[in-house]
């Protein structure tokens, strides 16, 4: 069942990325094609340990309301940490808007189509990134290194989460440069924190849906910030 969840959703994502490639941004679409195909290959060749997939997209459907509360709680934690990072490293005011601005920077507009931009960057890309990074790749690394994880915050869980957060931040280096080629340190650190939080959520709950929902929430609000949707009352 766990494999079928990934195969079905990845097949749909491939179709949507094909549309993205043909109509909007071939370069960005190719990047996520590669990520997605790597996850599919790991699934096809069954490159997991004897226990199979530990982190399905959804383990049980009856906990969706509880999962929503977990996502909102993680979101609050992420925003608070991000604001503190901005204050310390960037001397910015403690505004949640600064977090949205970081996640909305360097996101390419899709032929000025607002709805498609929000769908691609607010849903499709977060889904692909989270399912592959913190589902398939984290499972593969866990099994390859024989890290024994548990549903908690033990030492091995934290080490694996740190490793995945580092990989996630490294991947985002390509979109975390400011003018002049300097690295935007607060944005990179916040990306690392986001990857760490996503990893710990998957390890804690034993499924990926909470991390996917968190990524969708953050990216969608970032797109709303980019287009000025819902922020008319910003002070």
3-state secondary structure the chain: CHHHHHHHHHHHHHHHHHHHHHHCCHHHHHHHHHHHHHHHHHHHCCCCCCCCCCCCCCCCCCCHHHHHHHHHHHHHHHHHHHHHHHHHHHCCCCCHHHHHHHHHCCCCCCCCCHHHHHHHHHHHHHHHHHHHHHHHHHHHHHHHCCCCCCCCCCHHHHHHHHHHHHHHHHHHHHHCECCCCCECHHHHHHHHHHHHHHHHHHHHHCCCHHHHHHHHHHHHHHHHHHHCCCCCCCC
Structure-token pair, residue 95:
């505004």
For the chain, what are the domain ranges?
Answer: 2-227
Per-residue pLDDT of the chain (235 residues; tens, 9 = 90+): 588 999 999 999 999 999 888 877 787 788 899 999 999 999 998 888 777 888 999 998 999 999 999 999 999 999 999 888 888 876 655 555 556 565 665 555 555 678 888 898 899 999 999 999 999 999 999 988 888 877 667 888 899 999 999 999 988 876 554 334 445 678 888 899 999 999 999 999 999 999 999 999 999 998 888 777 765 433 3
CA atoms of 85 and 44, how far apart (whole Å):
41
> What pTM did the predictor assign?
0.88
Q: What is the pLDDT of residue 113?
A: 78
């Amino acid at each position: 069942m766990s494999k079928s969840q990934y195969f079905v959703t990845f097949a749909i994502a491939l179709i949507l990325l094909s549309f993205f490639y043909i109509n909007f941004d071939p370069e960005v679409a190719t990047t996520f094609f590669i990520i997605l195909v790597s996850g599919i290959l790991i699934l096809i060749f069954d490159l997991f340990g004897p226990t199979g997939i530990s982190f399905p997209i959804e383990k049980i459907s009856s906990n969706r309301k509880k999962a929503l509360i977990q996502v909102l709680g993680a979101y609050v934690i992420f925003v608070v940490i991000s604001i503190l990072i901005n204050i310390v490293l960037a001397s910015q005011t403690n505004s949640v808007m600064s977090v949205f601005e970081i996640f909305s920077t360097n996101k390419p507009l899709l032929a000025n189509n607002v709805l498609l931009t929000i769908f691609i960057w607010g849903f499709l890309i977060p889904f692909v990134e989270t399912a592959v990074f913190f589902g398939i790749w984290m499972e593969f690394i866990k099994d390859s290194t024989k890290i024994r994880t548990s549903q908690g915050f033990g030492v091995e869980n934290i080490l694996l989460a740190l490793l995945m957060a580092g990989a996630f931040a490294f991947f985002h280096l390509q979109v975390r440069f400011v003018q002049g080629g300097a690295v935007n340190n607060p944005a990179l650190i916040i990306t690392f924190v986001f990857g760490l939080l996503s990893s710990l959520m998957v390890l804690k709950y034993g499924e990926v849906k909470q991390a996917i929902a968190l990524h969708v929430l953050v990216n969608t609000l970032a797109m709303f910030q980019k287009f000025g949707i819902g922020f008319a009352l910003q002070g």
